[in-house]
Structures are given as structure tokens and as C-alpha cells.
Chain A
Amino acid sequence: MNTYAGLDIGSRSIELVVRGGGETVASRRLATTYDPAARLRELFPDGAPDRLAVTGYGRELARELFPKALTITEIKAHALGAAHLFPQARTLLDIGGQDTKAVALLPGGKVGRFEMNDRCAAGTGKFLELTATVFGVPVEDFGRLALTGNPEAPVIGSMCTVFAETEATTLMARGTPPADIALGLHRAIVARTTAMLARVGLELPLVFVGGVARNPCVARLLAETLDAAPLIPDAPDMTGALGAALWLEARCP
């Protein structure tokens, strides 16, 4: 049986999905760390698999390490992965560690218009991570904390990570409960995200992938704003790796 390996090298984590016989046969996830090359060698101690497609911001690095690997962008990979899991989806939202992407999905997981945040980290996983540290809360629990916030609480106006942090600290000093501030920060992300979705011509259903799709507060706020719950895969951070494997499978049967 031929196997197809899809690898997604992101800023925070590396994901691997292996497909064979038309289904996913293995998947793995590990932290990127400061030495992604070492992590990749660890992942493939016996060398890279014959059929390997790499996506994510580390794809160039992988190309150096594994010269035979093919690369595609994370935009295309996520689109293919998302469309495979939810063929009915029309728009894709991917919030990862460093980037936020909105993509209009065309039939077959093809990419229509897309938008991506520019150099600043506003509205990305990084934003959540940095602001969570202000509260001393692990980022995994940050969304749950925000869900308990009072919806009437002040809105965080700033989209800039640095300023949002300042705003949060000011509110803390004024005695605003952390949960309320956390909710305000989540709202800021969702406001920015919906603006980006609108720019690609949002159509429902929306599929939401990437690490931040695990955050229950972002998902809930998105559902409220769009009046429809986003479709979220069981393993939202594996979509890119899945898409890369699917692409390879379709390309070299």
C-alpha cells in the first residue's frame, strides 16, 4: 500500500498525517521548539518518507532537509483538508499560532479569495498567548475563563497585541474581574476575524480550523456573531497536514 505523508510545520507545532488506502492511518503532533530541524530529524529517524508534502511556514526548511519533498502553502493545504472534512463548507477560517487566514472555498477545496494578517500578531494565537500571560493563566484555560465573563463588561478596543496588553493591565488595576477582561480580549479577536471573513465574502457554512479553534470562547463568539455555529474538526490543528497528504494522494496516485 502506498502511503502519503503530510507535514505541517507551524510556528508552535509540527503535525504529521499519514494516509494510505484512502484513509488516515497515523497522525502525530509535536512542539516546534527553537530547533525545528532537530524535531524533524526526530520525527523521521530513518529519513523522510518517499511521498512527503510539506506545508506551513517551515516548508522551506523541510525542502532543504528533505530535497524530494513537495511543498504547498498552508492556505491551500487547509482548504483541501477542510473541504475533505466538511464538503459543504463555503468559507474557511484558520487561526494558528502566528497567522490568521480567511479563505473563500470553491468546489473541491479550491481557493478563491483569501486574506491573511500582515506582520502584526493581532487576532492570532500569539495574541491569546501573550494576553493569557498577563493573567498568569495557561493559554489552554484562557477561553474557559473568558466564557465566565460578564457580557456587559468593557470591550477591549485595541487590536494591537502590545496595546491590548496595556489596556488589559489598566483594567486589572481598576479592579475589573479577570474573566471580564479575558472576554473583552476574545471579543477583540472575533471582531478582527469577522472583518477579515467579510473581506473574502463570507458565505456559510464556515469551517474553523487551526489551534485557536480549540478555544471554546472564540468558537462561541463566532457563532453568536455569525448566527451559525462554525464547523470545527475533532483535531482542528491537523487540517493543514491532512490537506497536504490529500493533495499528494490526488497528485501521485
Chain B
Amino acid sequence: MTDAAHMALWESLDLDIPAHDALLAVLGKFYGDIYLSQQGRLKGAEYLDFVLSEVHGLRIKEIQDTKATGKKVVGTFCVFVPEELTLAADAIQVGLCAGAKAGTEKAETLVPRNTCDLIKSFVGFKLARLCPYTESCDLIVGETTCDGKKKAYEAFGEHVPMHVMEVPQCKGPCDRDLFRAELTRYKDALEKLTGNTITAASLAAATKVVNAKRQALQRLARLRSADPAPISGRDALLVNQISFYDDPVRFTAKINELCDEMEARIKAGQGVAPSGTPRLLLAGCPMAVPNWKLPYLIESSGAVIVGEESCIGERNTRDFTDETPTDLDGMLDALTDRYMKIDCACFTPNTERLDHIAALAKELKADGVIHYGLLFCQPYAHEALKVGKAMAAAGLPYLAIETDYGMVDAGQLKTRVEAFVETLS
């Protein structure tokens, strides 16, 4: 796209142009330092670079063009919002990034100061008119996964059209019933928004699309068990991040191509880091675009990340939705079952997550686990302690890090991560 076309697009969305320019400049520099500087990258990473370079351009234009044909756009912040239903209503679903500090002062007029950066970020992006995705949304779906979000949506809802889904906190039969009812309520909201009826046929087709995307992402995840690691953790994270906003069918095809290339590399014994490089599993809070700080610090400390036990990673892709039911009710049941398997820290108890982390670390031949918690995130801060105990029991070296989107602690974090990596080698 030309610069003039970009500008016209952003003006039509009423973005704050100077502030948005500044944001893109920072993002571009950040991307260059963290991504383009990598050695021995896969050829398929060109797709990632392209998507990211046009993240506020071509993809937005594409979305706007489809909107012009009457399609609706739904924004989400959590993997509990079933993309199957959104697609079945013939709407577009985009994960809103919330991975950068923006409009913090403005955000703090709506949410308390000691709120996690993820929440502050989505509020800030909206209030500062910086995010073309947020501005493209016809509906934003929130969920009651933590107190911070649930209260923030009350205030946020005064600025955007909102639908809030209740996500239960336990996994008993009545909780399942609650979530099943919430799926129906979301389905109704979508039908009202789009004017389309979700049918068994449309839901079956949508489920196939979403499962295929999960399959490609799982394939990529499994290939990372190879030593030497065929892809950097940063690139793999980027793949997972892009999975939230690129067109799902195109994305799936591109990731499968990337996997073909990875397979060839593995056969040839090639990797992004020499064999014997300490391998780490990154677990914890989701890392939305452009939250690459910790992965970058880790991978510039002589380690390679081989998996993300995160919502932008394994937690989002591990489970498929059962495709066997043929009637709508059965399909909604299947969706309920699939989503209630998510081991988010908002659940109590949430012991399955501990087992998942240990099993994943083993599968990926990780030498250690780093837990990432966002400052002020209660659920994951608590789990960081539990995961620590579970890793000690599993004999896996463990480091818990709590940080935010700022850079002030980069030096200290680097020392900690490097020292941790030193203990592994």
C-alpha cells in the first residue's frame, strides 16, 4: 500500500495520526532489533515480516473492504471467545493486541493504577485512538476471567459496543451448564449483530476452519521438539500472535508451508541455534503483539525458547473441537467441552495446568521453565508459586519473572535470565 493510501485509511478510522505515526515508528524499530537481526531465520518468516509490516495497513484495508460488503468485525481479548461461533455467523474475529504501553495516563482515568498492563493497554489504545483494529470493531467481547478485566469492561463498555461473557471459575457440572448458556447468549448476540442465523452447517464449516488452524499451530509446536531447534521462540510467538488477526484460512496455509520448511531443516540437521543450546519453555500470561521483551531477553542470553505455555501459544491450540456432532445442540455441547478444558489461572482449582506444563517441558525436551507473570496479575502470580513447586517436584529448573511492558527493568531481567541460563549449561 502507498503511504497516501495508508493515511486515508487511518483518517477514515479517525485515528490520532501523529500519535499513531509515533507508535508505528517505535514498533518498526523494535521489530527490526528483535526480529530482523536474527541469524539463520526460516524463509517462511518473510510472511511474518510482511504481515507485521502491513499490520495496520493491508490487513485493515482487507477488513474494511469486507466490512463494506456488510460483514461485521468482532474484537476479543481472550481465548475463551469461540472463534467457531464468530465465523459461523460470517463475522471476522480479531484478537486485540493489548501488548504495548499506550495511552497509559488516559487509561488510568478508567482503571486503577495497579492494574495489569494488558488491561491498561487495551483501554489506552482505545482512549488514545491508536488501534485500527479496535476502531474497526462492531462488537468487542469481554469475559469475566479476572477481576481486573471484569471491572474494566464496565468502564470500557461506555466507549465501545461490548458483550461480556461469563466464564465460570470452577469446572463442575453447574459451571459447565453456565458456560453452555453463555455460548447460546453469545450466539444470539452474534445473530443479532450480523443478521445471519448460525446453522448446523455454518457452525460445522467454521469448526473445520478453526480446527485446521489449531492443527497447523500444533504441527509447528511439535516440530520444535527437534534439537537443534528449527525456529526461534520469537518467530514462533509471532506466528501465534498473528494467528489472532490474520485471515484464518490464509494463515493456516502459510503456517503449513512454514512447517514444511521446518521439516526439511530438521532432516538436514539445521537449526536457529546450535545443538546443545539450553532449551526453555516459557509459561504464564499471554503475550500479545508487540510484547516481545522477555522472549528477546531470553534468546539474547544464549538460550532458545522451544514452547509457549500461554494463551498465545499452547493453551489456545492444544484442544480440538469435536467435529462429530451433526446438530446444533450437539455442536454447542462440543464447543462447551472444548473450551472448558482451557487451564487458565482464573480457575480454581487448576491443577491440570501443572501437569500440562511438566508434560510439555518433557515433550519439547526443555532444560528449564521460565514463568512469565504480568505485574498486578493476581491469578498468574499465585500460579507462579504453584508451578515453582510442581517444577521442583518434576526436577525441572525454574525461574519466575514478573514484569510489565516497560523497559526500565530490562537490565535486571537480563541478569536474572542469563544467570538462570548459566545454571543450565
Contacts and interface: CB of A to CB of B under 8 A. Distances in A.
Contacts of B268: none
A111 B425 CA distance: 11
Interface centre among B411, B414, B423 (most CB of A within 10 A): B423
Interface of B: 402, 408-409, 411-412, 414-416, 418-419, 422-423
Contacts of B408: 119
Interface in A97-120: 99, 110-112, 114, 116-119
Nearest to A119: B409
B409 A118 contact: yes
23 contacts: A60-B414, A72-B422, A73-B415, A73-B422, A74-B415, A75-B415, A75-B422, A76-B419, A99-B412, A99-B415, A110-B423, A111-B419, A114-B416, A114-B423, A116-B412, A116-B415, A116-B419, A117-B412, A118-B402, A118-B412, A119-B408, A119-B409, A119-B412
Nearest to B401: A118
Interface of A: 57, 60, 72-76, 99, 110-112, 114, 116-119
A233 to B, nearest CB: 21
Contacts, number: 35
A119 B409 CA distance: 6
Contacts of B423: 110-112, 114
Contacts of B416: 114, 116
Contacts of A72: 422
Main secondary structure of the interface of B (DSSP, over half): helix
B39 to A, nearest CB: 17
B409 A73 contact: no
Given A72-B422, A76-B422, A111-B419, 13 more contacts: A60-B414, A73-B419, A75-B422, A111-B422, A114-B416, A114-B419, A116-B415, A116-B416, A116-B419, A118-B409, A118-B412, A119-B408, A119-B412
A150 B414 CA distance: 41
A239 B414 CA distance: 21
Q: Which of A73, A114, A116 has the most CB of B within 10 A?
A: A73
A57 B414 CA distance: 9
A117 B402 CA distance: 11
A231 B412 CA distance: 26
B56 to A, nearest CB: 31
Contact of B418 (A73, A117, A118): A73
